[in-house]
Structure 1
Amino acid sequence: MAYVKIFTDGSCLGNPGRGGFGAILCCQSSQSKESYSWELWQGYRHTTNNRMELMAVIAALSVLRKDVASIESIDLTSDSKYLKDGITKWIHGWKKNGWLTAARQPVKNVDLWRKLDQLVAQHQINWHWVKGHAGHAENERCDKLARDAAQSSELLADDGLVRFQHREC
């Protein structure tokens, strides 16, 4: 079994505008000292900060899909209240209302919320919120990954497909 810690952040230079996301995954085996960490990032030409926050989590959880059975729990930390409240409070009502808000308006970013909902259903996730730009080391690193991705020359179109670059660290 494995314990996983995920840290995510999204960034947008203008909202909408150039954007990027960053994520860190830290996996630790509960039966050995084996562990690994990855950083994920990607930039997009025209997007929003909320889409980047969602894409960061979708990318991170997508990496874990192959190992679902061996994951005991996931601690996921973000500085986005939109993400945390959306996935822990609002999504149940949205689904019940046919993906409409309490005000009977279409849910924004529904394409990403649906993907996230499918991925979250496969895991036991403990959701944590931290204040952004407050010195939390992993959040600061994710913020840098996201900002660097938004400023890179390798920007993608935000077509709802979550793609990313990664490296082991």
Structure 2
Amino acid sequence: MTETLATPEPLPNRKITVNFDGSCLGNPGPGGFAAILQDETSGKEVTISGPCGRHTTNNKAELTAALKPLLKIKAGAHVTMTGDSEYVIKGMSERIARWKRNGWRTSSGGFVANVEEWKALEAAASKHAKVNWVWQHGHAGCPLNEKVDGLARAEAEKLRRSIR
């Protein structure tokens, strides 16, 4: 008897656009994140948001805002991540490969800040077919950027009220 392996069905070419933002009140202080996920094929839109911690930094809030939607999206998608954080966008599109080659050290020899968050973000991005990182100028009238900014700030405010 000859056994053949079934050929898996190809994944549909899913294209997801994510607008994300993080907010921190005080830096360090209470933080929040928000993201809007849009499926370009179905037109479906999902908004996610939440707290990032009582004593976080703006950079950690931005990293969380990028990480959470990538974890939510089913593996294999083509994802466009749009955010106003040059820290995250340049980190993922320009710097991370060099940091890894250099043992998670910066070009000046210091340790990369938030290394565990960078590793988690890279792992989440790697489960997708392709992830493009696009910088959007913040507070420039882009409706989705303004919306996620407001939602992230509201999450940070809500957290701040809960710890008083």
What TM-score comes out, normalization by structure 1 length?
0.82
Task: Give the counterpart of 1:132 among 125, 133, 138.
Answer: 138
**Separation in 1 of the partners of 2:114 and 2:146?**
25
Q: Quick check: 1:57 aligned with 2:66?
A: yes
What is the aligned partner in structure 2 of residue 113 from structure 1? 118
**Separation in 2 of the partners of 1:133 and 1:26?**
21
Identity %: 39
Structure 1 residues 101 and 153, CA, compared in 2 at 3 Å: closer, same or farther?
closer
**Separation in 2 of the partners of 1:120 and 1:5?**
13
**Separation in 2 of the partners of 1:127 and 1:106?**
23
**Separation in 1 of the partners of 2:159 and 2:57?**
18
Q: Quick check: 1:39 aligned with 2:51?
A: no
User: Runs in 1 of length 4+ with deviation above 6 angstroms?
Assistant: none
What is the aligned partner in structure 1 of residue 22 from structure 2? 10
SS of the equivalent of 1:152 reads helix
What is the aligned partner in structure 1 of residue 39 from structure 2? 27
**Separation in 2 of the partners of 1:113 and 1:155?**
29
CA contact (8 A) 1:42 1:155 kept: no
SS of the equivalent of 2:20 reads strand
1:122: Cα distance to partner? Answer: 2.1
Q: Unmatched 5+ residue regions in structure 1?
A: 157-169
Q: Name the aligned partner's letter for residue 128 of structure 1.
A: V
Q: Unmatched 5+ residue regions in structure 2?
A: 1-11
Between Structure 1 and Structure 2, the one with more strand by share is 1
Q: More relative contact order in 1 or in 2 (CA 8 Å, sep 6+)? A: 1
Aligned-residue CA RMSD (Å): 1.7
Work out the number of aligned pairs and report it. Answer: 148
1:28: Cα distance to partner? Answer: 3.0
